[in-house]
Amino acid sequence: MIKDGPEFSIGSKDRPVQISQKGTIRRLKWISTKFVLLWDTLDERGWLVNGTSALLHVVRASLSHASKDPFRSAFLFRNTDMEEAETPFTANSAVEVLISKHNRNLRLYEDDDEEGGHILLKTQIDHFYSLLEKLMDHQADVSSDDNRQLPDRPRRYLEGWDFEDLVTDCDPLRPRVATIQPIGKGWVDFVRDIHAVVLLGRGFGDIIRPSGTGLCEYWVELPKNQFYIASCLSDLERLSKAYGGQDDHEWVTSNLICHTPSTPFIFCQCKGGIGRDHGEPVQTLFPSAMCEALRPNVHQIELRGPGAIIFGHNSTFPWIWGDTGLPVEGELGEQTRNPIQSVETQILSRIVVLGLARVQARNGLVPLRL
């Protein structure tokens, strides 16, 4: 133990070193610990997934694009060629697909400049891994303590990158912004706090959905246009291990707790009736500064094991989040409770809100050369 040593502080030049990973397994292990939010600007809902799941999603989308682009006559890959995971539809299924020797050696194009005379799927996997690694390093830098000293970023603006630009190798990759309505602002701090890379796109589909039966039609999929995000418990488990145990609250980061006085796995009591009230298995997130004001959850939330959790606004536990500062207790208006998709949101996957140019530059959101 060192005692009575000189006082020091970390300067702006003393940022943590981002170590570039080498080797397939090491790379995939590293990216599996990172988070990516796939935000659907059309459905106004999102999927917070681990890095390997996001990587496979990007790779599949790039293959689909290649099968339709002007070079499709030279494209050798067929979807039926790919071996799927023995245990599909889990948070870790992507790992099996990405490390499969059969899959990695699938031929995409003939190319005399490549070893063996072909561009292989492993080349595509490594390529998109490198792009996501750059975005993750950039996100960590943007979220550094130095940048946190800058004026707060409004919660209504969800900064990210265009999914289609990424899968089509658009260079430079330019930042995009989606507008989040008041009903969805409660999880924005969480996404930023875990340094999640945000990819904005359309038509992601039901990436996470319940596997059981007996659910009403409303909860058989993540409801659209309610600004919910869903994440697998197995992905959130390491956050619980890293930050849990401080008190009776469920900590998800050093700055945020998960809190709702109801179980996240409540079954809807509507019994399929038209016009009946639906249950709300939706969890809310609060700043750690409010721990003393909030009683610990009556129903203990365990962020581990199979299943998924939904974050968003819970009308049975109403709080209002502004663009900055702590939330305040109160009811959202009907207009914000059932948001109508705006023209701005419809086109945000393709444009940058020009009025945010200064905000983006201030927070490090500048085009990246890939």
pLDDT, tens only, 4-36? 333 333 344 445 545 566 789 999 999 999 999
Domain residue limits, the chain? 31-362
Using a pLDDT cut of 70, give the percent of the chain over it: 72
In sequence order, which residues have a C-beta less than 8 Å from that of residue 148 and are 6 or more positions away?
A: none
- Residue 192: which pLDDT band, with cuts at 50, 70 and 90? very high
CB–CB of 124/62 below 8 Å?
yes
For residue 354, pLDDT beyond 60: no
Q: Which residues, listed in sequence order, are joined to residue 136 by a DSSP beta bridge?
A: none
Look at residue 343 in the predicted model and tell me its pLDDT: 30
- Spatial distance between the Cα atoms of 342 and 336, rounded to a whole number of angstroms: 12
Tens-place pLDDT, residues 76-117: 999 999 999 998 888 889 999 999 999 999 999 999 888 889
Look at residue 8 in the predicted model and tell me its pLDDT: 32
Look at residue 88 in the predicted model and tell me its pLDDT: 87
Residue 341's φ and ψ, nearest 5 degrees, are: -60, 130
State how far the alpha carbon of 34 is from the alpha carbons of 31, 53, 186, in Å: 5, 10, 21
- Residue 292: which pLDDT band, with cuts at 50, 70 and 90? confident
- Pairing assessment for the beta strands 250-251 and 256-259 based on DSSP bridges: antiparallel
Of 257, 255, 254, 252, nearest in space to 237 by CA: 252
Query: Span 185-203, mean pLDDT?
Result: 95
In sequence order, which residues have a C-beta less than 8 Å from that of residue 14 and are 6 or more positions away?
A: none
Most confident of 103-107, 273-277, 357-361: 103-107
CB count in 10 Å sphere of residue 33: 11
3-state secondary structure 45-86: EEEEEEHHHHHHHHHHHHHHHHCCCCCHHHCCCCHHHCCCCC
Look at residue 351 in the predicted model and tell me its pLDDT: 27
Residue 231's φ and ψ, nearest 5 degrees, are: -150, 145
- Residue 136: which pLDDT band, with cuts at 50, 70 and 90? very high
Reported pTM: 0.82
Look at residue 369 in the predicted model and tell me its pLDDT: 52
